[in-house]
């Protein structure tokens, strides 16, 4: 049994996403597919799963070409996929999600709930996944949700399983558990494609590593032949410095202090539940933690976007708990939001308009109620140059820029002031290595200018590379504090809610 992708090419308007890509995978084999964001991994997998039709090339199983026009075709051919963004209906139960699309029914399409439940229990038991078939998805932690995705795939009797960035939502300890599950699948004879941009994980788990760059497969190596530096070089196409260089921090006065903060999420649950922290001028504090432990609500509350239910937030001693986003912005707080397209930018606006998005009301960009577009444009031209934003002009729509350049527009807009406090949430999510390096260096530069910096990221590597002090957030509280010498395992334990970090002191 062998799955092959032969000469796959996919042309999008203006982008050649896949360029004559070849990939093969056998039974009981784990192939890691490595590449930067935008290297074409996801496109390739979407073709394999029938979501995209390739411009040319074919997919074969045992040398028989497959007709893949929809995910249904892929499922029928024995191909399963665990998506990076889980394909689970949040308001359904586990069992409902598992049977969706292939429902056991009695007469007139009446759902057979008992059989569904039994099936989930059976698979869950066979691979020791420990999932309750009657739990509602949105109540489950992401780690368990991922297991539901795996059960979905197994329930459809997939012989080949694609995992798209499976570890990005897991804690280091959960990753270990996940690897055990994958090993179990391998022992069961499944062929596994493991998509990642994390080099260490690929080295640890893969039998073979395929590296993609700019839509092409550029190398195929065995884990024992290479190390992380070599892999990074293959991935990016040039030697990469994996460490962020920075001087020792010189923390000064407390800039941001948070006491007993309580914030509700959209479902009116306490997402932040009595949290306290402090950030000093000249230090970078990183907040680590699995997504969905209240980080989003914390940042929204600190920046005035979400009203808090209780507690006090002080900026340089002043109570800003109930201040508006603008009032907080005026106190020189720079905010790089979690989702640049949802809230950081107005996509149908030009680069110029986005550069002045939160300062349009101040001179010289406006005089009274009249905008001064000349001055706005001057500023945009200057910042585009200063922050290395690659754009044909400041008059193009920001939506036409790459993710990395969009992020630089935000960073330019936010840092072009005498910043007292930087709050950056997922500052480098989904952007290319060049932009990541640039934005990291800018953040360190702000710290060296004696700004206080608070970074929130679900990428533990990023937190560890940047932070002078690391706080772990779990269920709305700080579950541990570490200095930059802590190991991922220690931090990982705290991310699971264990008080490991506390006891170690």
Query: Site residues for other proteins, window 150-169 (CB under 8 A)?
Result: 152
**Rounded distance between C-alpha atoms, residue 82 and residue 194, angstroms:** 10
For other proteins, what does the binding mask look like between residues 24 and 53, x meaning CB under 8 A? -------------------------x-xx-
Quick one: which segment of 17-25, 188-196, 238-246, 308-316 binds other proteins (CB under 8 A)?
Answer: 308-316
**Rounded distance between C-alpha atoms, residue 453 and residue 436, angstroms:** 17
Q: Which helix (H) or strand (E) holds 314?
A: strand 310-315
| Binding status of residue 419 toward other proteins by CB under 8 A | no
CB nearer to other proteins: pick between 162 and 202: 162
**Could you give the C-alpha distances from 414 to 355, 387, 424, 452, in angstroms and in order?**
9, 11, 10, 14
CB nearer to other proteins: pick between 144 and 381: 381
State the DSSP code for 221: E
- 158 touches 191 (CB < 8 A): no
| Binding status of residue 347 toward other proteins by CB under 8 A | yes
CB of 38 to other proteins, least distance (A): 15
Interface positions, 98-127, toward other proteins (CB under 8 A): 99-103, 105, 108-111
**Rounded distance between C-alpha atoms, residue 408 and residue 403, angstroms:** 9
Quick one: which segment of 25-33, 185-193, 217-225, 357-365 binds other proteins (CB under 8 A)?
Answer: 357-365
State the DSSP code for 397: B
| Binding status of residue 69 toward other proteins by CB under 8 A | no
Strands 30-34 and 208-213: parallel
Quick one: which segment of 281-289, 343-351, 439-447, 448-456 binds other proteins (CB under 8 A)?
Answer: 343-351
| Binding status of residue 269 toward other proteins by CB under 8 A | no
For other proteins, the binding residue among 144, 240, 357, 419 (CB under 8 A) is: 357
For other proteins, the binding residue among 78, 337, 488, 492 (CB under 8 A) is: 337
* φ, ψ of residue 287 in degrees (nearest 5): -105, 110
| Binding status of residue 16 toward other proteins by CB under 8 A | no
CB nearer to other proteins: pick between 204 and 319: 319
For other proteins, the binding residue among 139, 176, 385, 448 (CB under 8 A) is: 385
For other proteins, the binding residue among 89, 183, 242, 252 (CB under 8 A) is: 89
CA dihedral 126, 127, 133, 139 (to 10 degrees): 170
DSSP result, 224-270: GG--HHHHHHHHHSS----S---PPP---SEEEEEEEEEEE-TTS-E
For other proteins, the binding residue among 114, 361, 417, 430 (CB under 8 A) is: 361
Residues 6+ apart with CB under 8 A from 57: 5, 6, 7, 8, 9, 18, 20, 21
CB nearer to other proteins: pick between 67 and 204: 67
| Binding status of residue 393 toward other proteins by CB under 8 A | yes
| Binding status of residue 60 toward other proteins by CB under 8 A | no
CB of 211 to other proteins, least distance (A): 23
**Rounded distance between C-alpha atoms, residue 382 and residue 312, angstroms:** 38
**Rounded distance between C-alpha atoms, residue 287 and residue 302, angstroms:** 14
| Binding status of residue 482 toward other proteins by CB under 8 A | yes
Give the largest Cα separation in the chain, rounded: 72
Quick one: which segment of 172-180, 281-289, 394-402, 442-450 binds other proteins (CB under 8 A)?
Answer: 394-402
| Binding status of residue 215 toward other proteins by CB under 8 A | no
For other proteins, the binding residue among 25, 54, 83, 206 (CB under 8 A) is: 83
Quick one: which segment of 161-169, 207-215, 271-279, 440-448 binds other proteins (CB under 8 A)?
Answer: 271-279
- 456 touches 424 (CB < 8 A): yes
| Binding status of residue 14 toward other proteins by CB under 8 A | no
**Could you give the C-alpha distances from 421 to 8, 12, 139, 310, 331, in angstroms and in order?**
48, 41, 34, 22, 9
| Binding status of residue 135 toward other proteins by CB under 8 A | no
| Binding status of residue 178 toward other proteins by CB under 8 A | no
């Amino acid at each position: 049994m062998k799955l092959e992708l032969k000469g796959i090419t996919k042309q999008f308007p203006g982008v050649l996403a896949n360029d004559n890509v070849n990939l093969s995978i056998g039974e009981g084999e784990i192939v890691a597919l490595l590449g930067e964001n935008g290297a074409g991994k996801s496109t390739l997998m979407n073709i394999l799963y029938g979501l995209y039709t390739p411009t040319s090339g074919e997919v074969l199983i045992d040398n028989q070409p497959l007709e893949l026009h929809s995910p249904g075709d892929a499922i029928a051919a024995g191909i399963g996929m665990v998506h990076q963004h889980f394909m689970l209906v949040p308001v359904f139960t586990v069992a409902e999600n598992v049977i969706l699309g292939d429902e056991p029914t009695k007469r007139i399409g009446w759902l057979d709930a008992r059989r569904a439940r039994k099936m989930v229990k059976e698979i869950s038991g066979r691979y020791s996944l420990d999932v309750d078939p009657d739990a509602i998805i949105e109540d489950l932690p992401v780690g368990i949700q991922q297991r539901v995705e795996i059960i979905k795939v197994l329930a459809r009797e997939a012989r080949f399983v694609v995992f798209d960035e499976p570890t990005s939502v897991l804690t280091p300890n959960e990753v270990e558990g996940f690897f055990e599950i994958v090993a179990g699948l391998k022992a069961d004879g499944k062929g596994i494609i493991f998509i990642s941009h994390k080099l260490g994980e690929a080295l640890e788990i893969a039998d073979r590593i395929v590296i993609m760059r700019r839509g092409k497969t550029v190398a195929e190596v065995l884990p024992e032949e290479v190390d992380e530096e070599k892999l990074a070089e293959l991935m990016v196409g040039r030697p990469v410095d994996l460490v962020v260089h920075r001087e020792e921090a010189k923390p000064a006065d407390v800039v941001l202090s948070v006491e007993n903060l309580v914030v509700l999420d959209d479902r009116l649950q306490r997402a932040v539940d009595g949290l306290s922290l402090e950030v000093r001028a000249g230090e970078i504090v990183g907040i680590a933690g699995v997504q969905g432990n209240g980080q989003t609500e914390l940042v929204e509350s600190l920046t005035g976007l979400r009203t808090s239910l209780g507690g006090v937030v002080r900026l340089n001693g002043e109570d800003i708990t109930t201040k508006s986003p603008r009032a907080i912005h005026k106190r020189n707080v720079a905010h790089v939001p979690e989702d640049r397209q949802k809230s950081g930018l107005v996509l149908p606006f030009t680069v110029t308009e986005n550069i002045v998005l939160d300062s349009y009301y101040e001179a010289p960009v406006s005089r009274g109620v009249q905008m001064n577009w000349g001055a706005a444009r001057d500023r945009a031209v200057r910042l585009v140059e200063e922050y290395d934003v690659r754009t044909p002009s400041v008059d193009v729509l920001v939506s036409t820029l790459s993710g990395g350049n969009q992020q630089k527009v935000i960073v330019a807009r936010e840092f072009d002031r005498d910043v007292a406090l930087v709050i950056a949430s997922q500052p480098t999510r989904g952007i290319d290595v060049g932009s990541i390096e640039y934005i990291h260096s800018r953040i360190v530069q702000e710290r060296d200018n004696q700004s206080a910096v608070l970074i929130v990221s679900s990428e533990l590597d990023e937190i560890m590379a940047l932070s002078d002090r690391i706080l772990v957030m779990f269920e709305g509280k700080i579950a541990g504090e570490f200095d930059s010498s802590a190991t991922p395992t220690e931090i990982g334990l705290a991310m699971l809610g264990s008080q490991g970090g506390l006891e170690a002191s």
